């Protein structure tokens, strides 16, 4: 059995700098003379976090990025499933049916519920038992026994918990919360607000492929899920966010079969029929969650959902390598 995760490499050219991280190459155009560019890379939330700031003094950029990164660390502590002393761990370990939580975490869970409802349960924050069972987060994944999958599914899903103001979750005792499909996006959004408040006008934040940009002239190349060294499309973004979920990000092979980390809450197994989903919308939190949900929904249902909701655009690469996208997504494509 081989466990594989996406890795990163930086390729720098004279005009455009490209960073490969999880699902993207992104670039910034340096054709404007005297345009200062500040870059900083740090580790958080189990991934590489990249900051790119244009047009600011080094001292201002450094100070602002440090504040933004500290905000990402704060969200990591709030939402992490691998820390033993945070609120998510308390929710999952508590033996009582009701647990007091921070209003910020309550708000995040409420927004996650809305995405779950939108995707028909294809995305849900109450999938912790199943995620733990498959072992991707521990680094030692394997195919679980069928009876264990059924047991995990019986303790999964939004119908098994209830949220109460100003800060309480009431849940079936064995339900486990996991925010891995939304926390990085939320952390990037919070870091974005910190940089904006610091007066930074042109910047990009990338947390393992969850990307939000402020300002214009940001060009990204979306990775070909079948050929990691290739891109299938370039997109140009301005004051917007993008996220991709792909079956190549984390997976293992057992008995000649490939199993990836995007689990279907209906079956308990990795979702089928799709290789990658890219979502463009205003905030990364929503893009992050929708990319996961639409991946599970599949091409036909995912495109239908996107066509019914004009707040986001989507591109789907199905299991045969065929590309599908909404008309609105095409507006971001650059040759």
Percent of the chain at pLDDT exceeding 90:
79
| CB-based contact 213:203 (threshold 8 Å) | yes
Percent of the chain at pLDDT exceeding 70:
90
pLDDT of res. 114? 97
CA–CA separation, 242 and 192 (whole Å): 13
What number is the average pLDDT over the span 136-160? Answer: 94
CA–CA separation, 31 and 324 (whole Å): 33
Split at pLDDT 50, 70, 90, the class of 85 is confident
CA–CA separation, 101 and 264 (whole Å): 27
pLDDT of res. 22? 39
Domains, the chain, with CATH or none = 100-171 (1.10.3980.10)
pLDDT digits (tens, 9 = 90+) for 220-263: 999 999 887 899 999 999 999 999 999 998 999 999 999 999 99
pLDDT digits (tens, 9 = 90+) for 178-202: 999 999 999 999 999 999 999 999 9
Instruction: Give the strand pairing for 227-237 and 218-224.
Output: antiparallel
pLDDT digits (tens, 9 = 90+) for 269-288: 999 999 999 999 999 999 99
Place of tokens 């301005």: 238
Total residue length of the chain: 335
User: To which H or E segment does residue 38 belong?
Assistant: strand 37-44
Which tops the pLDDT comparison, 265 or 137? 265
pTM value is 0.90
Burial class (CB in 10 A: 0-12, 13-18, 19+), 100: middle
pLDDT of res. 97? 83
pLDDT digits (tens, 9 = 90+) for 10-46: 222 222 233 333 345 555 443 333 458 999 999 999 9
């Amino acid at each position: 059995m081989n466990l594989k995760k996406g890795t990163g490499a930086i390729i720098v050219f004279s005009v455009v700098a490209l960073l490969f991280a999880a699902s993207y190459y992104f670039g910034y155009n340096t054709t404007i003379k005297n345009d200062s560019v500040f870059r900083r890379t740090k580790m958080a939330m189990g991934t590489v976090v990249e900051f790119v700031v244009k047009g600011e003094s080094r001292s201002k950029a450094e100070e602002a990025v440090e504040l933004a990164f500290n905000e990402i660390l704060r969200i990591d502590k709030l939402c992490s499933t691998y820390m033993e002393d945070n609120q998510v761990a308390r929710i999952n370990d508590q033996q009582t049916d009701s647990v007091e939580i921070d209003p910020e975490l309550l708000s995040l869970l409420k927004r996650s519920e809305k995405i779950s409802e939108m995707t028909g349960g294809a995305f849900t924050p109450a999938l912790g038992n199943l995620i733990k069972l498959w072992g991707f987060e521990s680094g030692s994944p394997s195919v679980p026994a069928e009876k264990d999958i059924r047991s995990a599914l019986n303790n999964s899903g939004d119908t098994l918990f209830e949220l109460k103001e100003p800060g309480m979750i009431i849940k079936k005792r064995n339900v486990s919360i996991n925010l891995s499909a939304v926390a990085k996006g939320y952390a990037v959004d919070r870091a974005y607000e910190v940089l904006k408040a610091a007066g930074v006008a042109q910047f990009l934040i990338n947390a393992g492929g969850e990307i939000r940009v402020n300002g214009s002239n940001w060009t990204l190349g979306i990775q070909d899920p079948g050929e990691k060294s290739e891109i299938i499309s370039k997109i140009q973004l301005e004051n917007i966010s993008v996220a991709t979920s792909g079956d190549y990000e984390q997976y293992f092979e057992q008995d000649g079969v490939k199993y990836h980390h995007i689990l279907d809450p209906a079956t308990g197994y990795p979702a089928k029929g799709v290789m990658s989903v890219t979502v463009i919308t205003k905030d990364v939190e929503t893009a992050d969650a929708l990319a996961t949900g639409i991946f599970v929904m599949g091409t036909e249902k995912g495109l239908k959902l996107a066509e019914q909701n004009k707040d986001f655009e989507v591109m789907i690469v199905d299991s045969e390598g065929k590309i599908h996208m909404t008309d609105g997504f095409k507006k971001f494509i650059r040759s």
